[in-house]
Structure 1
């Protein structure tokens, strides 16, 4: 029986665990939070942090695992690559994965390849960041060098808030380093979706429009919609440049979560190329839209099984996820959904139940729309279609 170690057992990380169990593999989970649900369905579980490289390596060696997966979280990706490299398991080069999960190293790589990249630098010193920031055109972004999503990010229209933004970002950085960089003047939507490598070649990519809630700062991601409205020529250019990144780093197999912008000249600006599947049920939306199961391919690749059948597929219909964020702290009492939106819900995954303290995200809806216009209109007006109901009773959330 194949034995596979999953780094992370949170609700959003359950899909590959369920797939492995369906295939009758022996499942081991590793996550420092003992109450995470993946632990309850695994054959064995261990309360070890996914960022503890040597602790996970010792565990993997003692268990004689056949594969290791870090799903939908940047934090575990370097550890998975480190363990795979040390034990001779299928995986990607550790140094390459570290480059992709560090914003400073990734920006340097883009410059080396001659790609578009904003003026950017990383600092562990606030004083040095102050000097650098004076050279930049506002607005600027202040980000943790090694955190994913919107965690720890501040957008500044004035340098007056730099000190607070720097300290906030540093709190979210494992390396205690902060990136300060200029913003990019984009046209259209940001792109955020998944791709997949097989034997060093980009075999699957499907771009999605990323939607954000502008009422919070920085804007919360709320949806990824398919098909993207990006100019197909820009999409092809992004895929070609992504292949250059893959080849340069020697990446071999596995999922990538890719974020980029396109400017007025049609030039591609990569924000992230994360060496893992996207969160927020992006692989689930892709499976609904195309029939391609990237969860299956992720587990198969980790076990060294052939993924040669994978290829690009045009989406059928109009699909998106919708990420439910709590408006503030409190106890969830319910979620109101309009009748119009109920007709578009294909699946829902709620990780916070009524009576529980709210944390983000509360859950994700998978939606199917009748056309592009309806999809765009509803996603731009989701405040009219869904409402989080809650009590302001304060309960600490770990």
Structure 2
């Protein structure tokens, strides 16, 4: 749908602070909507710094969010509404924007890409990246589906992110552990139960304009593997042959075409199986885990800024990587942190582009059960994937955590 308001007036829902700054640098007047329960005041002040106005609301109140979007669009003659943040609050925001004629995407495209079960059904309907799978509304239905499908199977909440609630089910004990874990975490259905795909994993970042999808880069993903598949490192660009790269491009672009996606970033995860690439999931946002910084480090291409340049009408020009970049995540024993040595030495390394360790002495280090409970990361640049791996290993070797009352026998669902 063609936006009807002033083309340079942009309303963003849940925009990260750098998005507002980069949109303003691209020539947009920006209004921003945030839920104050999700960020501290200091961060909201950063968002407000480059916005015409920062508006606050409760994202769990869908009717209230839609009403605020409608009022802001009408009051300020907004030309475009974008939501590039977390998926949970996207459906009401995009639905309202579409109803007002100011969404660059149909709500149906955003919904089908963000919902793992809906995406899997769409692919199956068109015979693309076919994976044997069943949807399940409850944990009891998951158990029934697991009985019907050949084991092992992967089970995951259809609308969660960050590896939350993902598990490999090999037997009844795995199913019991998973059921306890998602129940305790409040990860309600629907769920997806699907065949276990084996092979190297990749993240594909795309930027779409007027329904044309441009692959900005492919990142190799390293995980803990079964049973929880928590990411341990990423390398960009992925070391792939031309045929492998072409096959991954084709399947991702095919998905975005089928979904009817028109504009903006998408982050699609793919496993390169012996039968060819199979899509794991997709989201209508940028990839997490500092993948945008990896792209910028390797290619001098700011994909965040490119979103707003594209919205302003500039053509998309995918970059050519000149270096290798990698992010390595930190994993320490769970327990009370007494001290951490080596952080200053890591920061002083000339190839370290960013380092993040959000804990101080006295804090509890949680057991790592998903992407949100890892203990930090470092981003390095290098001339090759092998050199990047060596540099990540050196960074990890420099960090020495003194953890008191560390968990000696990691509980189910955790990583030591």
- CA change 1:255–1:389 in 2 (3 A) is farther
> SS of 1:346's equivalent?
strand
What corresponds to 1:223 in structure 2?
233
Please show how residues 1-398 of structure 1 align to structure 2 within 5 Å.
4-8=10-14, 13-20=16-23, 22=25, 25-31=29-35, 32-35=37-40, 37-43=42-48, 44-50=53-59, 52-64=61-73, 65-169=78-182, 176-186=189-199, 189-213=200-224, 218-265=228-275, 267-300=276-309, 304-308=311-315, 310-324=316-330, 327-328=333-334, 330=336, 333-334=339-340, 336-337=342-343, 342-349=349-356, 351-352=358-359, 360-379=373-392, 383-388=396-401
Superposed CA offset, 1:331-385 (max 9, x none): 5844635669934202335555666665735544321013232223455786435
Distance (Å, rounded) in 1 between the aligned partners of 2:186 and 2:134: 15
Q: Which of these two proteins has the greater Rg computed from alpha carbons? A: 2
Deviation at 1:111, TM superposition (A): 0.9
- CA change 1:33–1:357 in 2 (3 A) is farther
Distance (Å, rounded) in 1 between the aligned partners of 2:397 and 2:384: 19
- Contact 2:13–2:83 (8 Å) recurs in 1: yes
- Contact 2:114–2:159 (8 Å) recurs in 1: yes
> SS of 1:29's equivalent?
strand
- CA change 1:72–1:390 in 2 (3 A) is farther
- CA change 1:134–1:232 in 2 (3 A) is same
- Contact 2:122–2:258 (8 Å) recurs in 1: no
Q: TM-score, normalised by structure 1?
A: 0.83
Distance (Å, rounded) in 1 between the aligned partners of 2:253 and 2:152: 31
Distance (Å, rounded) in 2 between the aligned partners of 1:238 and 1:200: 18
What do you get for the CA RMSD once the two structures are aligned? 3.3
- Contact 2:327–2:379 (8 Å) recurs in 1: yes
- CA change 1:172–1:296 in 2 (3 A) is farther
> SS of 1:56's equivalent?
helix
- Contact 1:196–1:255 (8 Å) recurs in 2: yes
Q: TM-score, normalised by structure 2?
A: 0.80
- Contact 2:299–2:323 (8 Å) recurs in 1: no
Deviation at 1:300, TM superposition (A): 4.4
Q: Which moved further from structure 2: 315-324 or 347-356?
A: 347-356
Distance (Å, rounded) in 1 between the aligned partners of 2:66 and 2:20: 20
What corresponds to 1:396 in structure 2?
none
Stretches of structure 1 that go unaligned for 5 or more consecutive residues are 394-398
Stretches of structure 2 that go unaligned for 5 or more consecutive residues are 1-5, 367-372, 407-416
Give aligned pairs, total.
384
> SS of 1:76's equivalent?
helix
Distance (Å, rounded) in 1 between the aligned partners of 2:160 and 2:116: 9
Distance (Å, rounded) in 2 between the aligned partners of 1:173 and 1:104: 19
Distance (Å, rounded) in 1 between the aligned partners of 2:401 and 2:95: 41
- CA change 1:46–1:159 in 2 (3 A) is farther
Distance (Å, rounded) in 2 between the aligned partners of 1:57 and 1:387: 48
